[in-house]
Amino acid sequence: MSGTTATNNENHLISLLPRKERDQILEICELVEIIFGTVLCEPDQPFSHVYFPLSGYISLVKSVQKHPPMEVGLIGNEGMLGAKLVLGVNNADLQGVVQGPGIVLRMTTMEFLRILRDNPDFKIIIKRYLSVLMSQLSQTIACSRFHEVTARLARWLLLTHDRTIGDQFNLTHRYLAEMLGVQRSAITIAAGLLQQKKIIHYVRGDIRILNRKALEAASCECYNAVNDDYFQIFA
């Protein structure tokens, strides 16, 4: 996702505002470190804060009884957690959990709603982002149903790479299996295929991207579909 990666060290949604409005929002926000595994929101519970990542990333996770949780969305510095509030609804649909540690801008729900009321341009930006997020969720559902595991793994690694500083990150087979909603053995096979082709190097949970272009080629079309939607709206 060129132009909106973690290396920019800013939140793209806030950066779209004119300088004066941007500075006003930054004055309200609190700079917070997010730690792996921290739950930021729970299903059917009100948002206490909204989060604008500068680095790191947040997984949107859906749980079903008797099954491990499955990731259906990923938020980095291209977006925010809590965009649903723009609709006047203060209940989370999904669990938001930190999967990549980093730094975020945080503000209370009350402050966010006030800014939406006083800043029409910002409200339009958040509505557009919510549209992109909905497309991402629906694309993930279709991808999970129709595409084979290796292509889905490649797509997920690309999304993670976009939101990570550097080419290396730590992801266990168990974690990847849960995020993609598949058996751990399927991840072992898919990761092995990518490693055989020298696209990634994977040992004991440490993944290094060796060939980004080849990884893009190994991914299904869902990766580009979501990115294209984002850039069409925020061009």
77, 162: one domain: no
- Asked if 111 and 155 sit in the same domain, the reply is no
Structure tokens given for 67: 């099954």
33 contact partners, CB below 8 Å, separation of at least 6 = 101, 102, 103
Whether residue 17 is found in the same domain as residue 95: yes
For residues 152 and 215, membership in a common domain is answered with: yes
CATH number at residue 181: 1.10.10.10
Beta bridge partners of 39: 97
Whole-angstrom Cα distance, residue 146 to residue 159? 19
Give this prediction's pTM: 0.90
Q: What is the pLDDT along the chain (235 residues), one digit of tens a residue?
A: 444 444 457 999 999 999 999 999 999 999 999 999 999 999 999 999 999 999 999 999 998 887 778 889 999 999 999 999 999 999 999 999 999 999 999 999 999 999 999 999 999 999 999 999 998 889 988 998 899 999 999 999 999 999 988 899 888 888 889 889 899 999 999 999 999 999 999 988 899 999 999 999 999 999 999 899 899 998 7
Which tokens sit at 8? 């920019």
Q: 147-186 burial by CB neighbour count: b if 16+ within 10 A, else e? A: bebbbbbbbbbbbbbbbbeeeebebebeebbbbbbbeeeb
42 and 95 in contact (C-beta within 8 Å)? yes
Do 62 and 109 fall within a single domain? Answer: yes
Its domain, for residue 207, covers 146-226
Domain-embedded: residue 138:
no
Longest pairwise C-alpha distance within the chain: 55
State how many domains the chain has: 2
